[in-house]
Amino acid sequence: MAIQLERVSDDMAGLVETVRRSLVSIRNGRHGAGAGSIWHADGLVLTNAHVVVGRSVRVTLADGRELAARVLAREPDLDLAALAVEAGDLPAIELGDSRQLRPGQLVMALGHPWGVEGSASAGAVIGMGPAPANFPASHREWVVAGLRLRPGNSGGPLFDARGRLIGINSMMTGPEVAMAVPVHVAKDFLQRALHAYLGDQKGQAV
């Protein structure tokens, strides 16, 4: 049994190390810090809207490079924001399917709580879908997980046992209850955001 537990522990540590390559730190002037995930190798980063509230946004990659970021889109109602950095061939996170989640499945969260770079926490899925009426933003879809988030986890990835992104960590609603925006909601947001952004770019070119 001890050997089996050690193997599981090593596998989890290896999984965290893999996902951590796509994790970024986001600083927003004096307004605080948060996390994000590299969504696309060409410099597209996804995070929470509440992490990006000012004009001076800087992103630090896992390899230590610090880059200025451009806010492509921000939707506070979904608590999502898309950023762009001038870099290529970045390690993007693999995407999962949040609609296929089941209560009890193992999930992990990464972020930079209280300045601890690349910190990990683990738990299990509690449920999916709209939150109860007494929860914040109960009209939205959520992944609810039994793990602890702290200041600095906002915008970081919630991922499954295969290292696939299934949610964007957003808030705590209890000591061990984390709320994350489902990845399928993030996909829809990015499709709308990038379509609008590309349309604006064409309009400026004309």
The residues carrying an active-site annotation are: 50, 79, 154
Which residues touch 43 (CB under 8 Å, ≥6 apart)?
A: 84, 85, 86, 87, 88, 90
Q: What are phi and psi of 191, to 5 degrees?
A: -60, -45
Residue 139 CA to residue 27 CA, distance in Å, equals 29
Which residues touch 50 (CB under 8 Å, ≥6 apart)?
A: 34, 76, 79, 154
Question: What is the residue whose two structure tokens read 């602890």?
Answer: 148
What element of type H or E holds 169? Answer: strand 165-174
